[in-house]
Chain A
């Protein structure tokens, strides 16, 4: 049967099912197929905090959203065009997110009895689909017995009914792969490898995958196939990468580029644990991973390793940073390099472990006793986590200071195509270890020198890093205030005042090493600036595009460095009438910008555990443009050549 083929420029699909249904894997495979096909894409996994919430219940629903397009896109999309629902709970949990007219492919198998009740349905929502009173009346629903057909397709492999039914996610993947013309070879190779040890399961999954594809081809249920052409991308070799993987690779690269063995001290916590898992695989690069008894031990061991001349790294999430605070202060005082990675999640306290948020900025800035300045950097996208890890290391090693890198749950688990950098182009980081005494004991005797651990480099104000094993440089450091230069304990009031200011000045000096900020203001005449940091880059960019598409001017700046701020930030802020600061918190960057630059920053704040929505952001930006420029902003009115303003 030949089917109609329809061209689309972008599609958002959400795979949803029980946490045992393998939806993350399904989504990931579809993503890899789309990446290999050449689409631009962004993904958003969403899973429950419980490992195995009761089967078939709403809390047990796990989903994976993928947005793919024939042009460059910035977000995982506000709302799915297609929902694949593997059970009643998945349908019910995701329905509120669907726009009218969305397509729903639903596995009918569990729509009966207890499974309906568990999902909170009094009656079968699939009954009477044609009736105007149906809860699904607004959607294009395709009820398909995915489970039943899977069991039929894998009969020959002699699996138990339960094992046979488990391949239903591959049936669904096959169907969707057919529908969007995805290349299938990478999934076939993946399944062959993953289940190599259990041939029956391997063959069942392969059979289900191919049965799903054939079903699409032959059934009359689906009359249309869709085509989303490859997106033009800069030349290079690409892979799809999550933030946690990119961050791990960035740390391995930081070790290679600095020549320092990486030492990771870490205690497991969602959503940061994957970095510990990943780095534990890279011992061949001289990476040591230490699973500590708690977060304090994680950071303590990293400080010890740094003292011993390794690159000390500790990875955690917000609650762990709280535990590490005192030790980070020790690293501030002892002026040792240390990279602290906070993969932020919803807070306070245990909060929302599997959901994203960016509410640890002020904790990173100020969450220590005393005047304890710590540089803070943040990646803007999953792939950018690689560069951010290198930058955090550069600052930590060059300035002998702890650095906090703020990732978040969205970046950690979300993915995007990443252009693999050429190793030759990566920055080199010079540890510049001290090798000799640095201080002339007396002017009368210029040849006799001793070692002063707090004698600073004039440019960077960094102190020497003298590692144990170096003869003649034996010295003691610690948390008590240091006398300027010699570093012995000092309780002198003037010395303390000087040292507090010097530690601050050292962090401030980092700004001199930063490139100018990139201001995205194509017209050069915008009166509204939107400024953000971290994972809001995508939604802000998409919101800005929508406003521009409607014919308005708006500028965008995104900060990599939160402490110190780049030197040119003040002037840039003063160049706009209105400054909008979208954040997944209640206004933490706003607070810093207001305090530092006396600008009347306007906050746009949501803490829903989810990325900001581009459409809502566009409304907020539009409203501010209307106010600033005294114009009407109608976002539904495209202006000019749409090719100049690609769809987000």
Chain B
């Protein structure tokens, strides 16, 4: 078997998607559909919807060129509430449909809305393959660490020992850390944010939308009905300061009111939390989301609690440039097209009339 060097398409960001003309403007209202929102009162999904509705106009992209695709779950109702093109598809398969849309059309901004069960259980295979291919789409993974729509079974992100309807004696399986998983799946953009932090959420969404390739954004989303308080450790004013580790590219990683930082841990090859005063300033880790090697980003992701969330890094873990599947696929198609001039009908006649032929008169 042989390989060949592929040309690298030079598209960046949302290039190719039509933008508003001079003088045109869009507001959050333009993006709001006439459908009544039907989540439970207090559901974290509302906050994300509001943030997305108010943030989408800022992209400056034409509304008709935006497509939201979702799977099945509470969060997957999302597309119905946005006045864009949308498809509420089947459980776990949204990345496949989005791959078809994004590959077929360069002029569309493609978004996937999915849940922890949708993306990581039934659709786990599609998620990792979308990430490795780097198809141009932004995936919003609503992680409430529970199956909401089916009324409260544990999910692949639930902590071990979780007592739910299907695990009365406690769940026994080890959860996924979605960020670690994505980094292991060759993702080019991986971020995490929290439903209740509108500013952070919007900032991360903006970065994700601007990234060309697959962006995975894990959103911690509270489900007050079946998994309330799952993120209290990160949200309560008393504990949040020491629990949330904010990642900002190019800045020293500190938290706990500036008292805590991260340093490399020679013994494990990972990173560890240190008291800022205990180490040389030069040894405090500066966040580099653009590092080609994902090892440090992975090490940081491991600081997330697998059990109850008393600690979690948030922000953009990784953002690197790599040619996208869809750009490269389209480049091959157009290169082949350019190399074969002539009317399609004529070329079709040439194709079917090729090979060894004979004529009967």
| Contact surface of A with B, Cβ cutoff 8 Å | 32, 35-36, 38, 186, 233-241, 249, 252-253, 256, 261, 263, 265, 282-288, 290, 292-294, 296-310, 312, 326-327, 329-330, 334, 386, 420-424, 468-480, 488-489
Contacts and interface: CB of A to CB of B under 8 A. Distances in A.
B353 A300 contact: no
Interface string B318-361: 00000000000110110111011000111111011111111111
A301 B88 contact: no
Contacts of B107: 469
Contacts of A253: 348, 352
Nearest to B17: A469
Nearest to A292: B96
B62 interface: yes
Contacts of A290: 99-100, 103, 329
Given A304-B99, A308-B100, 15 more contacts: A237-B360, A282-B351, A283-B333, A286-B333, A292-B96, A297-B129, A302-B100, A308-B101, A310-B100, A334-B87, A422-B349, A424-B345, A468-B105, A476-B80, A479-B90
Nearest to A294: B125
B200 to A, nearest CB: 28
Interface in B69-97: 69, 72, 79-80, 82-90, 93, 95-97
Nearest to B345: A423
Contacts of A301: 96-97, 99-100, 103
A300 B80 CA distance: 20
Contacts of B86: 475-478
A284 B340 contact: yes
B56 interface: no
B170 to A, nearest CB: 32
B360 A304 contact: no
Nearest to A489: B80
B108 A237 contact: no
24 contacts: A235-B360, A237-B358, A238-B357, A239-B355, A241-B355, A253-B352, A263-B103, A282-B351, A283-B335, A290-B103, A301-B97, A304-B104, A305-B100, A307-B97, A312-B100, A327-B93, A422-B349, A468-B64, A468-B105, A469-B18, A469-B108, A476-B87, A476-B88, A479-B89
B35 interface: yes
Contacts of B97: 300-301, 303-304, 307
A302 B86 CA distance: 16
Max count, chain B CB within 10 A of own CB: residue among A36, A256, A297, A309: A297
Given A261-B104, A304-B99, A474 B351 contact: no
Q: Which 8 A-B pairs have the closest CB atoms?
A: A304-B100, A300-B96, A478-B88, A301-B100, A283-B336, A284-B340, A304-B97, A476-B86
Max count, chain B CB within 10 A of own CB: residue among A233, A236, A423: A423
Contacts of A36: 356, 358
A305 B80 CA distance: 20
A477 to B, nearest CB: 6
Contacts of A38: 358, 360
B105 to A, nearest CB: 5
Nearest to A231: B360
A612 B103 CA distance: 43
A303 B100 contact: yes
Contact of A283 (B83, B332, B345, B347): B332
A287 B347 CA distance: 13
A304 B355 contact: no
A400 to B, nearest CB: 15
A476 B70 CA distance: 11
Contacts of A479: 72, 88-90
Nearest to B96: A300
B28 to A, nearest CB: 15
B65 interface: yes
A302 B99 CA distance: 9
B298 to A, nearest CB: 23
A97 B126 CA distance: 47
Given A334-B87, A469-B65, A239 B100 contact: no
A470 B361 CA distance: 50
B356 A305 contact: no
B98 interface: yes
Contacts of B347: 284-285
Nearest to B34: A488
A238 B348 CA distance: 16
B140 interface: no
A470 B337 CA distance: 25
A451 to B, nearest CB: 11
A326 B332 CA distance: 31
A441 B79 CA distance: 23
Nearest to B35: A488
Contacts of A423: 345-346, 348-349, 352
B6 to A, nearest CB: 14
A205 B336 CA distance: 34
Given A237-B353, A304-B97, A478 B89 contact: yes
Given A237-B359, A284-B347, A330-B90, A297 B96 contact: yes
Given A36-B358, A237-B353, A309-B105, A304 B96 contact: yes
B93 A296 contact: yes
B359 A468 contact: no
B35 A304 contact: no
B360 A236 contact: yes
B353 A308 contact: no
Contacts of B357: 237-239, 420
B63 interface: yes
Given A35-B356, A239-B355, A253-B352, A474 B99 contact: no
B356 A32 contact: yes
Max count, chain A CB within 10 A of own CB: residue among B67, B90, B125: B90
Contacts of A307: 67, 85, 87, 97, 100-101
A233 B335 CA distance: 41
A470 B84 CA distance: 11
Contacts of B100: 263, 265, 290, 300-308, 310, 312
A240 B64 contact: no
A424 B125 CA distance: 44
A77 to B, nearest CB: 22
Contacts of A186: 356
B79 A256 contact: no
B33 interface: yes
B92 to A, nearest CB: 8
A38 B97 CA distance: 48
A479 B102 CA distance: 20
Contacts of A309: 104-105
Contacts of A488: 35, 80
A478 B104 contact: no
Nearest to A422: B349
B84 A327 contact: no
A471 B62 contact: yes
A646 B64 CA distance: 62
Contact of B359 (A238, A327, A478): A238
Given A237-B353, A256-B344, A334-B87, A300 B93 contact: yes
Max count, chain B CB within 10 A of own CB: residue among A237, A290, A386: A290
A386 B108 CA distance: 33
Contacts of A474: 63-64, 83-85
Contact of A249 (B62, B83, B102, B352): B352
B348 A285 contact: yes
A278 to B, nearest CB: 10
Max count, chain B CB within 10 A of own CB: residue among A239, A302, A469, A480: A469
A582 to B, nearest CB: 31
